[in-house]
Amino acid sequence: MTEIRYTKDHEWVRLDGDIATVGITDHAQSALGDIVFVELPEPGRAVAEGEACAVVESVKAASDVYAPLAGTVTENNASLAADPGVANQDAEAGGWFFKLRLAGRAGFDALLSAADYQTFVQSL
């Protein structure tokens, strides 16, 4: 069963088994504007929860993307690196950044639901 959760750093996390796919939310891409470059973590890298592990650059500025949960990077999105604009056009599907193998799903359940994330965005 696939579930999607969100973070206050404007990332989405989709869990399939013990693999979490991570990207930036549609709200985030809209706020960033035209995305022109991404820097993605290499497979095999162990990341801590909250660790800056990817970078997204718009015309105006660079922003960090954080690991929403601890885990090991299994894959990054090479097609996004080749065409960063996909993060604008398809932020919450084809514009994924990297996949993590999680140690467990306890942290995942503590992330924001879609409804809670929408409430959070509206409060900004």
Partner 1 sequence: MADAETLTVPLDAMHRGLGARMVGFAGYAMPVQYDGIIAEHLHCRAHAALFDVSHMGQAILSGPGAAAALERVVTGDIAGLQPGRQRYTLLMNADGGIVDDLMVANLDGYYLLVLNAARKHVDLAHIRAHLPDAVSLTPHFGRALLALQGPESGAVLASLAPEVAALRFMDAIETTLEGARMTITRSGYTGEDGFEIGLPAERADALATTLITDARVKPAGLGARDSLRLEAGLPLYGNDIDETTNPIEAGLGFAIGKRRKMAWNFAGGAAVRAIHDSGPARRLVGLRADGRAPVRAGAELTDAKGAPAGIVTSGTFAPSLDAPAALGYVRADLARDGTILAAALRGRAVTMRVAPLPFIPHRYAR
Name the residues that contact partner 1, by CB under 8 A.
33-34, 36-37, 39, 55, 57-62, 84
- Which whole-number Å values give the CA distances from 62 to 33, 37, 39, 46, 65, in the listed order? 11, 9, 10, 23, 10
Return the number of the residue (31 or 70) whose C-beta is nearest partner 1.
31
Q: Quick one: which of 38, 65, 71 has its CA closest to 53? A: 65
Alpha-carbon distance of 73 to 47, in angstroms, equals: 7
Minimum separation from the CB atom of position 70 to partner 1 (A): 22
Return the number of the residue (1 or 82) whose C-beta is nearest partner 1.
82
Minimum separation from the CB atom of position 69 to partner 1 (A): 23
Neighbours of 121 (CB within 10 A): 17
Minimum separation from the CB atom of position 119 to partner 1 (A): 19
Return the number of the residue (58 or 77) whose C-beta is nearest partner 1.
58
